[in-house]
């Protein structure tokens, strides 16, 4: 544009395809030739996917056990209802697996009607504290209020409503054979996202200090029985903010009913080399988490996985239904087209 | 601008050459300022203005809300980033606009003018010109301010101006200075001029001025005749001096050009309404969710308090609900994103650039591209229903060309064979060295006839060379320049010139021509001037052989009645020719002559003289005298002049009316001219059922005529309908049937109510009617109670022509249609008289490239050819409308789809105003992820190629009917958006709540859900834009794919380790995208959601195209088929149609039988007198005249002396008052008619004398003019006196007086009077120089 052309056409606009709006272009049109085959094709694809997914899902097993008031947990449920929450309570629930769970078996705990997705609840955390910032350790973000400091003004670590409300039931799964009960080994590590475990949650740098020393001057969250540096007595490296259970809990659920991974079946020894054999099982629960306040339920979920995850009947069915609908539409369109608009007869005027 | 104005002026006092005195009054200076800001005020003023926009204030309010922590559901930057972006883009745009205004202001303000300061001329910028200054203007200069004309280089203080800028009238006007000042002559005298003018305060009345000049204890009345207004151009006048009365903003031009109204498009207004609705909707959503929150907090949240206690200020659920309401207002505000407004602006800007860039709207003759001067109206160009067009300069070029003629029953001119080869343009130069090289004529038989010496042909052209009021100027031998007061006459005289009858020069008493190379001087005995009633003019001349002849030209209707009976046969042939010409839209004149014997002449001359002297009924008696002599004439032939239309006008009008656009011509021209142009540009055709002419002078008669026209229309259409009922059924307005095939006729019939109710009767007029209405009738028709009547009648007509319309009426007509029809109007014009209309119409278009720029400055679009209008409307306007509609539909859709997900999520998250997406996604969604594809569509989309939309003007109709974006379409978009949001929320919700990763980790966490939904959303809206985009250019591809790519890369970047490491609390989504997007379930979810969202839309669209295709679909389809048929050459179709506009030679072969004739007189009467009085004769031309006729060699001496004295102008003693007897020789021609423009009443001090003046030809001097005194210097007195006398060719008489000229020239009033008396005495004594009485 900067060039000044001489002559009478000096102000003549450039004859470029762009300026003259003559850019080469593809102008598609919704003609029967393209739309109808597309619809059939879509229907077919969805159908195939749906069938495939359905077959895959059929091969998975899932078991859900609501233990809120199940078995002996009845007592604990009552106990948690009153204010003596600190007292430990252990109960057992039994269940039966009719068909063996083949392959990896995943053990989840589930909560019903627990709103981890409330805005103020979700905001009530300090990621800077959890990533090990010293400043935030001692002076947590105001978003944590009222769970930022205890009654004495000591900063809480980890602060906030999310950490405070951590699910603190623990489970021991046993396989009851005729020869007595065998404890089902559960791997309690590697149950969180890689990024969470390695990036998002970090303990404050220790500099030769032990974890308790690092956390000195902080208080555990109000509802916690143990301090954060003592969450896993068995593994020193699973304490502090990088504790797997904490990390799992801190990844808030999107919906009020959710399950979170508790452990994975350790398939090292018999009889669990191929998964969980059929039979009777009992789960011993250290019943700490009160749900009656908010009319919630607690459950245990056992499931096997396929390539696309756990048992999920909705997905294949949704695909099948969609495929049927598309097919229906496609047929209707074809009929309409055949009857009224064939060969673009409406186009010819 | 912000200067405190003194109380409104009661009257204005201006003293010449006295700046100090004038400064007391604080008159506005000549500096004009149209800009709004300067560097300091820009930011505050601009921000203030921007926050006056409701939308911006709303977002500011949101921003404040977001700063309250209890409410803030979104970070403040989600609002401030887009807001800042919008504000800065608008600010930049405003700044650029203002910069250009500054530039154009300073360009105007810095124009140079010569100001007389302390006795010498100094170049000053316009802006430094003050009230009271005396400035000098030269030929062809613009007048810098409103001036009182003091003196000019022309005799009698006359000067000519062109006022096209001001009132659009293209003929020249004469202004004359007050005699006392005109005598001042040049700067030396003017420097000491200290007259004081007391006049009316600044106003906008262009044709009125009243004031008084006080000078030397005398009062002189001033009128508009003495004023030169800013915006006029000085013509045919070497120089003149003027006293600045009004400057800058006080000038009539600026007072007339009021503030530009801010124009909004109808889409804008609709958009604003919709945005208000959406706000209402937003509030409703907020209320629903707040109620939900109240219930939830009471039922659930209350119990959940141990885990999440209520905030300290929240002590109950109701307050929580209140806060939640505001939180949701913040979250859901994205249904009306800020980017909507800025995107609309960007798209319009893009369209404007396309208009500016369009080569096919570039006029190479005047090197002017089209220009979109406002960027806010583009889409309205696609909705125009009414076009109001000016005529002169817009439809026509205002160039007359001699096109055809009929001589003695033989027609000459272009061959009527349109298929034949283009005839060769005649070359006149070998035959006639004096020929005008620009003259075009194609028929060589005429030239042959001239060469052979055919007497009739010779007479014909002799008549043309003699019978006119043209002035000539011959700067050098052969370089003739004609100054015609009307272009028709110029064309005729030029034609005669080229055919060997060259009009060389004239004096008040002679006409000198060169006939076939031989110089001939005719004695001009009388000019029987033109007027509207006579519709003809004649001259009576005596040729060198002494024979007296009357030559007459005039409208055939009047002329043919006055022929000698023996002409009957020729008359029939000629009138056939006339009809033929008229049918071609040519302006015709019939020519006739009559030989007069000396006795006849004597007798008539006597009678005429007495008529002219008559005190009462002078006009009538003169007319009767004229009537008497213009009898028994011999018909010579007829001429046909083409009022050259702009290129491609008939085609453009045809195309536009096919597009169902009604075209009204509003012109200041006379009815006949206007009708003629109506025919020639095919607005009116002979096929029309009827053309109604409304020309009543009273309210009653206008009403009656309108009613009659309407009744007639109804009656006619009834009879027509009766006939056509079976075939076509009923129809939907004019022109609808033409484009639609018969296949739709049946449908239409069904839709039509069987008996049309009377109120709708007028909408259902069939048949083609046209209405021509006169200015004075229009004034009545525009009265409040007549308006509806006029509108209903006029709108039923296919074409409406309003003639003799004032600028104000033009605007009124436009306003009326705007008021009654709710239609989009477009006004197109080129002159300042069109400004009001251009401003009041929805869209104003200015024709640029002509000299005037007023119209262009007031316009929204400008280009230089009327024919570009079809491209502007049918291509650019249509595209703009289409694009804007598609853009808006998509935009509302995508934001509802985006935002409503939050609403559904509310039911799951306890109505806690938790967002579904990451806050960055919310911030960037509208401005980054989805903006570019829709912008690309909004800027580049084309449904059909440009040449198709010109080929099928019916494609324009959806815009007029507002079909593409209206409330219904809006609701469809909203519904689609909400449907999409439902799918986007519930499908992931249902799938993910149960799903796990392949590592067993559940996918039901919030961040995964957020990422999945966001990704699905971006993909769905991208697919949707892909569906909406009808024209995939590279840019669209880049933008669509680029946006998707951008989405993923930005998301990955925002959720990267690095950012999290720096701001852990701001970027807590770290890693979510990576882990989520690796999951097949997530992709299956997205695919499913996309399919469910898109399939119904696709099916619906397919059905629409297949079953009920729009015309555009059809055109597109045929295009597609065509392309397939010849794949490789597919794109070359474009060039074929490009030049429709240039095919202007398509004369209609069919000739109507109706007899109408336009007669080629555009001028006003009075010029004949001006000529015979010699007042407008320029010295040089007089000299040339004598030179050419070689009457007296002494004239050369006189001329030399004159020139000599001019160059050595000695300063004059201003105080000296001496009589100037020599200047008033007896040969001064007396003034004639009082109707002459020259005879104002400005010479108040001079006594009126009647009857004593010597008689030349036409008249007695009812009001005597002061002696002509143009010569500025004392020593030039004798020379100039002689020169003046030379005008009447009495060297002897002159010589006798030449000696006693005194030195002083500045004449006091007393002296003038004295001189006058003396002059009269002498004049009566001396013989009349022309010796008419002999």
Q: Which residues of B touch A32 (CB under 8 A)?
A: 1102, 1106
Query: What residue in B sits closest to A311 (Cα-Cα)?
Result: B995
Partner-chain contact A336 B1075, CB within 8 Å: no
Give B1128→chain A minimum CA distance, Å: 13
How is B1262-1311 classified by DSSP, letter by letter?
Answer: SSPPPPP----SSTTHHHHHHHHHHTTT-HHHHHHHHTT--S-----HHH
Helix, coil or strand: residue B1073: helix
Helix axes A32-58, B1080-1107, angle to 10 degrees: 150
Residues B806/B708, Cβ–Cβ less than 8 Å: no
* B336-351 mean pLDDT: 84
CA distance B1280 to B853: 40
Task: Show the tokens assigned to A44.
Answer: 């077919």
Task: Show the tokens assigned to B914.
Answer: 């938790």
Check if A83 contacts B (Cβ < 8 Å): no
Beta bridge partners of B384: B824
CA distance B909 to B296: 10
**Bridge-based pairing state of the strands A180-183 and A170-177:** antiparallel
Residues B1298/B1195, Cβ–Cβ less than 8 Å: no
Q: What is the pTM of this model?
A: 0.78
Check if B990 contacts A (Cβ < 8 Å): yes
CA distance A116 to A191: 19
How does residue B314 score in pLDDT terms, banded at 50, 70 and 90?
Answer: low
CA distance B226 to B242: 10
Partner-chain contact B1033 A25, CB within 8 Å: yes
Residues B362/B369, Cβ–Cβ less than 8 Å: yes
Under-70 pLDDT residues of chain A: 1-9, 81-86, 341-349
Partner-chain contact A120 B311, CB within 8 Å: yes
* pLDDT score recorded for residue B721: 60
Give A294→chain B minimum CA distance, Å: 5
By the 10 Å C-beta count (0-12 exposed, 13-18 middle, 19+ buried), A86 is classed as exposed
Angle B478-B483-B487 from CA coordinates, rounded to 5°? 120
- Which of A27, A196, A255 minimises the CB distance to B1004? A255
CA distances from B902 to B105, B129, B328, B913 (A): 52, 66, 9, 8
CA distances from B242 to B18, B115, B851 (A): 14, 10, 23
Q: Which residues of B touch A14 (CB under 8 A)?
A: 357
Phi, psi of B340 (to 5 degrees): -55, -50
Residues B511/B540, Cβ–Cβ less than 8 Å: no
* pLDDT score recorded for residue B190: 78
Query: What residue in A sits closest to B366 (Cα-Cα)?
Result: A8
How many contacts, defined by CB atoms under 8 Å, are there between A and B?
Answer: 315
DSSP class of B392: B
Residues B838/B829, Cβ–Cβ less than 8 Å: yes
* Length of chain A as a residue count: 349
* pLDDT score recorded for residue B899: 92
CA distance B522 to B465: 11
CA distance B147 to B935: 52
**Bridge-based pairing state of the strands B662-666 and B384-389:** parallel
Residues B1099/A329, Cβ–Cβ less than 8 Å: yes
Residue B396: pLDDT over 60: yes
Residue B262: pLDDT over 80: no
Check if A6 contacts B (Cβ < 8 Å): no
- Which of A114, A255, A318 minimises the CB distance to B1088? A318
- Which of B306, B1002, B1134 minimises the CB distance to A261? B1002
In sequence order, which residues have a C-beta less than 8 Å from that of residue A345 and are 6 or more positions away? none
How does residue B1008 score in pLDDT terms, banded at 50, 70 and 90?
Answer: very high
Whether B1300 is a known active-site residue: answer: no
- Which of A108, A254, A329 minimises the CB distance to B1099? A329
Helix axes A314-336, B1080-1107, angle to 10 degrees: 10
How does residue B1333 score in pLDDT terms, banded at 50, 70 and 90?
Answer: very low
Partner-chain contact B914 A119, CB within 8 Å: yes
- Which of B327, B364, B1121 minimises the CB distance to A8? B364
* pLDDT score recorded for residue B1204: 47
Residue B446: pLDDT over 70: yes
Whole-number average pLDDT of chain B: 76
| Percentages of chain B per state (helix, strand, coil), in multiples of 5 | 50, 15, 35
How is B1133-1193 classified by DSSP, letter by letter?
Answer: HHHHTTTGGG-TT------------EE-----TTHHHHHHHTTT--HHHHHHHHHHHTS-T
CA distances from B250 to B20, B211, B1284 (A): 19, 16, 39
Question: Which residue in B307, B8, B567, B1243 sits closest to A256, CA to CA?
Answer: B307
pLDDT digits (tens, 9 = 90+) for B939-951: 999 888 888 888 8
Percent of chain B whose pLDDT exceeds 90: 13
Give B376→chain A minimum CA distance, Å: 20
Give A332→chain B minimum CA distance, Å: 10
Phi, psi of B999 (to 5 degrees): -90, 0
Q: Which residues of A touch B1117 (CB under 8 A)?
A: 29, 31, 344, 347
pLDDT digits (tens, 9 = 90+) for B1208-1226: 434 443 334 334 333 333 3
Helix axes A314-336, A32-58, angle to 10 degrees: 160
Query: What residue in A sits closest to B1055 (Cα-Cα)?
Result: A195
Residue B1227: pLDDT over 70: no
Residue B490 host element (H or E): helix B487-498
Residue B76: pLDDT over 90: no
* B748-770 mean pLDDT: 52
Check if A19 contacts B (Cβ < 8 Å): yes
pLDDT digits (tens, 9 = 90+) for B1288-1316: 333 433 343 433 433 334 334 444 444 44
Question: Which residue in B56, B58, B59 sits closest to B91, CA to CA?
Answer: B56
How many distinct helices (H) and strands (E) make up chain B? Answer: 48, 34
In sequence order, which residues have a C-beta less than 8 Å from that of residue B1090 and are 6 or more positions away? B1016, B1019, B1020, B1023
User: Helices (DSSP H) in A224-313: which residue ranges?
Assistant: 244-250
Cβ neighbours of A88 (radius 10 Å): 10
For A329-333, B363-367, B1017-1021, which range has the lowest pLDDT when averaged over its residues?
Answer: B363-367
**B1162 or B454, which is more confident?**
B454
* B762-777 mean pLDDT: 76
* pLDDT score recorded for residue B100: 84
CA distance B492 to B501: 11
Angle B656-B732-B793 from CA coordinates, rounded to 5°? 75
Angle B1133-B1135-B1140 from CA coordinates, rounded to 5°? 115
Residue B1271: pLDDT over 60: no
- Which of the residues B352, B911, B1011, B1102 would you substitute to probe the A interface, choosing the one with the greatest number of A C-beta atoms within 10 Å? B1102
Residues A283/A171, Cβ–Cβ less than 8 Å: yes
* pLDDT score recorded for residue B741: 37
CA distance B703 to B785: 10
For B62-71, B515-524, B1229-1238, which range has the lowest pLDDT when averaged over its residues?
Answer: B1229-1238
């369209």: which residue's tokens? Answer: B351
The reply to whether omega before B876 is within 30° of 0 (cis) is no
Phi, psi of B580 (to 5 degrees): -60, -45
The sign of the torsion formed by the CA atoms of B511, B515, B519, B523 equals negative
**B792 or A329, which is more confident?**
A329
Residues B1232/B1169, Cβ–Cβ less than 8 Å: yes
Q: Which residues of A touch B1099 (CB under 8 A)?
A: 39, 329, 332-333
* Length of chain B as a residue count: 1334
CA distance B1236 to B1242: 13
Give A179→chain B minimum CA distance, Å: 31
Count CA atoms within 13 Å of residue B881 on its CB side. 26
Question: Which residue in B201, B220, B254 sits closest to B149, CA to CA?
Answer: B220
pLDDT digits (tens, 9 = 90+) for B953-993: 888 988 888 888 889 999 999 999 999 999 999 999 999 88
Residues B660/B734, Cβ–Cβ less than 8 Å: yes
Angle B1306-B1312-B1318 from CA coordinates, rounded to 5°? 130
- Residue B997 CA, distance from chain mean position: 69
Residues A13/B362, Cβ–Cβ less than 8 Å: yes
Residues B1237/B174, Cβ–Cβ less than 8 Å: yes
For A207-211, A324-328, B670-674, B729-733, which range has the lowest pLDDT when averaged over its residues?
Answer: B729-733
The reply to whether omega before A146 is within 30° of 0 (cis) is yes
CA distance B540 to B548: 7
By the 10 Å C-beta count (0-12 exposed, 13-18 middle, 19+ buried), A92 is classed as middle
CA distances from A149 to A126, A219, A228, A243, B311 (A): 13, 8, 15, 21, 15
Residue B618 host element (H or E): helix B618-629
* pLDDT score recorded for residue B746: 37
* pLDDT score recorded for residue B737: 37
Helix axes B455-466, B487-498, angle to 10 degrees: 140
């Amino acid at each position: 544009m900067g060039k000044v052309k001489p002559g009478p056409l000096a102000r003549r606009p450039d004859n470029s395809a762009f300026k003259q709006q003559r850019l080469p272009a593809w102008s598609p049109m919704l003609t029967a030739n393209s739309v109808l085959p597309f619809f059939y094709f879509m229907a077919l694809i969805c159908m195939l996917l749906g069938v495939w997914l359905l077959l895959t899902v059929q091969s998975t097993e899932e078991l859900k056990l609501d233990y809120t008031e199940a078995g002996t947990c009845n007592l604990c449920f009552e106990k948690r209802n009153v204010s003596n929450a600190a007292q430990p309570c252990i109960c057992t629930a039994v269940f039966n697996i009719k068909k063996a769970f083949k392959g990896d078996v995943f053990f989840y705990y589930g909560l019903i009607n627990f709103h981890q997705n409330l805005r103020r609840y979700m905001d009530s955390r300090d990621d800077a504290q959890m990533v090990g910032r010293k400043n935030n350790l001692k002076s947590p973000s105001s978003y944590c209020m009222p769970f930022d400091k205890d009654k004495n003004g000591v900063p809480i670590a980890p602060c906030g409503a999310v950490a405070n409300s951590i699910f603190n039931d623990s489970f021991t799964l046993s396989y009851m054979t005729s020869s007595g009960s065998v404890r089902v080994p559960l791997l309690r590590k590697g149950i969180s996202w890689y990024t969470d475990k390695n990036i998002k949650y970090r303990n404050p740098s220790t500099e030769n200090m032990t974890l308790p020393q690092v956390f000195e001057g902080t208080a555990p969250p109000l509802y916690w029985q143990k301090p954060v540096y003592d969450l896993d007595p068995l593994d020193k490296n699973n304490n502090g903010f990088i504790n797997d259970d904490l990390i799992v809990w801190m990844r808030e659920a999107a919906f009020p009913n959710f399950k979170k991974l508790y452990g994975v079946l350790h398939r090292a020894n018999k009889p669990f080399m191929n998964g969980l054999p059929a039979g009777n099982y009992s789960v011993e629960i250290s019943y700490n988490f009160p749900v009656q306040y908010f009319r919630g339920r607690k459950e245990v979920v056992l499931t096997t996985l396929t390539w696309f995850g756990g048992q999920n009947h909705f997905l294949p069915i949704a695909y099948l239904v969609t495929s049927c609908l598309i097919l229906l539409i496609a047929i209707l369109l074809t009929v309409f087209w055949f009857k009224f608009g064939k060969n673009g007869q409406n186009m010819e005027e | 601008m912000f200067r405190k104005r003194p109380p409104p002026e009661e009257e204005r006092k201006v003293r010449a050459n006295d700046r100090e005195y004038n400064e007391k009054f604080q008159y506005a200076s000549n500096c004009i300022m149209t800009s709004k800001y300067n560097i300091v005020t820009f930011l505050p003023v601009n921000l203030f203005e921007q926050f006056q926009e409701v939308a911006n204030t709303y977002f500011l309010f949101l921003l404040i809300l977001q700063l309250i922590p209890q409410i803030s559901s979104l970070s403040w930057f989600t609002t401030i980033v887009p807001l800042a972006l919008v504000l800065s883009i608008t600010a930049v745009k405003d700044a650029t606009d203002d910069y250009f205004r500054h530039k154009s202001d300073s360009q105007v303000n810095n124009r140079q003018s010569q100001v007389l300061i302390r006795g010498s001329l100094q170049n000053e910028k316009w802006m430094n010109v003050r009230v009271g200054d005396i400035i000098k203007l030269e030929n062809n200069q613009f007048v810098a301010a409103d001036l009182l004309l003091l003196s000019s280089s022309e005799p009698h203080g006359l000067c000519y101006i062109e006022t096209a800028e001001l009132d659009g009238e293209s003929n020249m006007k004469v202004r004359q200075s007050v005699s006392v000042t005109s005598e001042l002559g040049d700067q030396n005298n003017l420097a000491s001029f200290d007259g004081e003018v007391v006049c009316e305060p600044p106003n906008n009345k262009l044709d009125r001025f009243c004031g008084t000049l006080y000078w030397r204890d005398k009062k002189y009345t001033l009128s508009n005749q003495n004023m030169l207004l800013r915006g006029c151009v000085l013509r045919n006048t070497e120089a003149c001096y003027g006293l600045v009365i009004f400057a800058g903003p006080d000038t009539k031009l600026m007072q007339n050009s009021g503030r530009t109204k801010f124009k909004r498009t109808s889409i804008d207004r609709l958009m604003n309404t919709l945005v208000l609705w959406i706000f209402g909707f937003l509030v409703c959503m907020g209320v629903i969710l707040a109620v939900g929150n109240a219930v939830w907090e009471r039922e659930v949240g209350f119990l959940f308090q141990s885990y999440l206690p209520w905030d300290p200020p929240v002590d109950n659920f109701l307050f929580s609900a209140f806060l939640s309401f505001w939180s949701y207002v913040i979250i859901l505000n994205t249904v009306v994103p800020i980017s909507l407004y800025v995107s609309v602006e960007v798209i319009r800007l893009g369209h404007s650039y396309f208009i500016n860039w369009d080569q096919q709207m570039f006029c190479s003759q005047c090197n002017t591209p089209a220009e979109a001067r406002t960027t806010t109206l583009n889409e309205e160009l696609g909705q125009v229903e009414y076009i109001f067009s000016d005529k002169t300069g817009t439809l026509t070029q205002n160039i007359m060309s001699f096109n055809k003629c009929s001589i003695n029953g033989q027609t000459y001119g272009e061959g009527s064979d349109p298929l034949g080869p283009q005839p060769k343009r005649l070359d006149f130069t070998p035959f006639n060295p004096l020929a005008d090289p620009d003259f075009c004529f194609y028929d060589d038989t005429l030239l042959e006839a001239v060469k052979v010496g055919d007497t009739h042909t010779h007479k014909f052209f002799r008549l043309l060379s003699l019978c006119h009021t043209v002035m000539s100027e011959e700067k050098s031998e052969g370089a003739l320049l004609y100054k015609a007061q009307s272009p028709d006459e110029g064309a005729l005289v030029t034609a005669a010139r080229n055919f060997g009858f060259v009009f060389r020069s004239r004096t008040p008493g002679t006409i000198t021509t060169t006939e076939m190379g031989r110089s001939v001087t005719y004695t001009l005995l009388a000019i029987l001037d033109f007027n509207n009633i006579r519709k003809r003019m004649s001259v009576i001349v005596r040729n060198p052989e002494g024979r007296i002849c009357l030559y007459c030209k005039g409208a055939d209707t009047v002329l043919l009645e006055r022929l000698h009976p023996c002409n009957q046969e020729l008359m029939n042939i000629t009138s056939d020719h006339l009809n033929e010409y008229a049918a071609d839209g040519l302006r015709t004149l019939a020519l006739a002559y009559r030989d007069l014997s000396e006795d006849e002449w004597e007798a008539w001359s006597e009678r005429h003289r007495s008529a002219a002297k008559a005190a009462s009924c002078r006009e009538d008696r003169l007319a009767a005298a004229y009537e008497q002599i213009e009898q028994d004439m011999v018909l010579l032939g007829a001429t046909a002049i083409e009022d050259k239309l702009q290129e491609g006008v008939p085609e453009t009008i045809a195309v536009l009316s096919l597009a169902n656009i009604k075209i009204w011509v509003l012109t200041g021209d006379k009815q006949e001219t206007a009708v003629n142009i109506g025919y020639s540009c095919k607005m009116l055709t002979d096929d029309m059922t009827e053309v109604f002419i409304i020309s009543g002078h009273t309210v009653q008669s206008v009403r009656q005529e309108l009613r009659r026209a309407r009744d007639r229309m109804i009656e006619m259409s009834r009879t027509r309908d009766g006939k056509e009922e079976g075939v076509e059924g009923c129809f939907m307005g004019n022109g609808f049937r033409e484009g639609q095939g018969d296949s739709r006729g049946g449908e239409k019939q069904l839709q039509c109510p069987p008996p049309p109710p009377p109120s709708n009767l007028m909408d259902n007029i069939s048949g083609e009617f046209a209405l021509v209405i006169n200015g004075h009738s229009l004034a009545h028709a525009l009265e409040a109670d007549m308006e509806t009547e006029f509108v209903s009648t006029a709108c039923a007509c296919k074409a409406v022509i309003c003639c003799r319309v004032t600028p104000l009426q033009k605007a009124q007509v436009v306003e009326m249609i705007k008021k009654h029809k709710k239609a989009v109007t477009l006004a197109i014009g080129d002159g300042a008289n069109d400004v009001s209309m251009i401003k009041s119409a929805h869209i104003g278009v200015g024709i640029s490239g002509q000299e005037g720029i007023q119209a262009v400055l007031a316009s929204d679009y400008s280009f230089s050819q009327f024919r570009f209008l079809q491209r502007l409307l049918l291509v650019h306007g249509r595209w703009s409308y289409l694009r804007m509609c598609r853009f808006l539909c998509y935009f509302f859709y995508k934001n509802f789809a985006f935002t409503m997900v939050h609403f559904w999520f509310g039911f799951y998250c306890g109505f806690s105003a938790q967002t579904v997406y990451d806050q960055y996604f919310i911030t960037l969604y509208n401005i980054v992820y989805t903006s570019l594809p829709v912008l690309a569509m909004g800027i580049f989309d084309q449904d059909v190629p440009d040449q198709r939309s010109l080929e099928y003007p019916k494609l324009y109709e959806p815009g007029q009917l507002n079909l593409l974006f209206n409330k219904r379409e809006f609701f469809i978009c909203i519904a689609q958006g909400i449907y999409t949001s439902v799918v986007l929320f519930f499908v992931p919700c249902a799938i993910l709540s149960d799903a796990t990763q392949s590592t067993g980790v559940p996918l039901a966490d919030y961040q995964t859900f957020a990422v999945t939904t966001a990704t699905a959303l971006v993909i769905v809206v991208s697919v949707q834009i892909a569906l909406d985009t009808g024209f995939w250019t590279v840019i669209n591809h880049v933008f669509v794919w680029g946006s998707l790519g951008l989405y993923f890369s930005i998301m990955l970047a925002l959720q990267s380790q690095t950012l999290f490491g720096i701001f852990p609390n701001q970027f807590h989504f770290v890693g979510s995208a990576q882990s989520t997007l690796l999951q097949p379930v997530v992709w299956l979810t997205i695919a499913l959601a996309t399919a469910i969202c898109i399939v119904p839309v696709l099916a619906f669209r397919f059905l629409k195209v297949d079953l009920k295709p729009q015309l555009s679909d059809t055109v597109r389809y045929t295009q597609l088929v065509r392309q397939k048929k010849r794949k490789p050459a597919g794109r070359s179709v474009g060039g074929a149609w490009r030049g429709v506009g240039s095919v202007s030679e398509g004369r209609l072969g069919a000739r109507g039988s109706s007899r109408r004739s336009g007669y080629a007189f555009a001028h006003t009467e009075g010029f004949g007198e001006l000529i015979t009085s010699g007042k407008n004769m320029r010295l040089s031309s007089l000299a040339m005249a004598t030179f050419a006729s070689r009457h007296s060699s002494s004239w050369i001496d006189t001329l030399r002396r004159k020139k000599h004295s001019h160059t050595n102008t000695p300063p004059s003693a201003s105080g000296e008052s001496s009589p100037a007897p020599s200047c008033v020789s007896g040969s001064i021609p007396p003034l004639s008619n009082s109707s002459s423009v020259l005879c104002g009443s400005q010479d108040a001090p001079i006594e009126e004398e009647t009857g004593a003046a010597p008689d030349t030809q036409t008249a007695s001097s009812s009001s005597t003019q002061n002696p002509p005194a143009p010569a500025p210097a004392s020593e030039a007195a004798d020379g100039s006196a002689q020169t003046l006398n030379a005008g009447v060719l009495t060297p002897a008489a002159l010589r006798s007086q030449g000696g006693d000229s005194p030195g002083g020239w500045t004449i006091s009033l007393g002296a003038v009077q004295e001189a006058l008396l003396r002059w009269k005495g002498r004049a009566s004594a001396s013989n009349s120089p022309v010796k008419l009485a002999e």
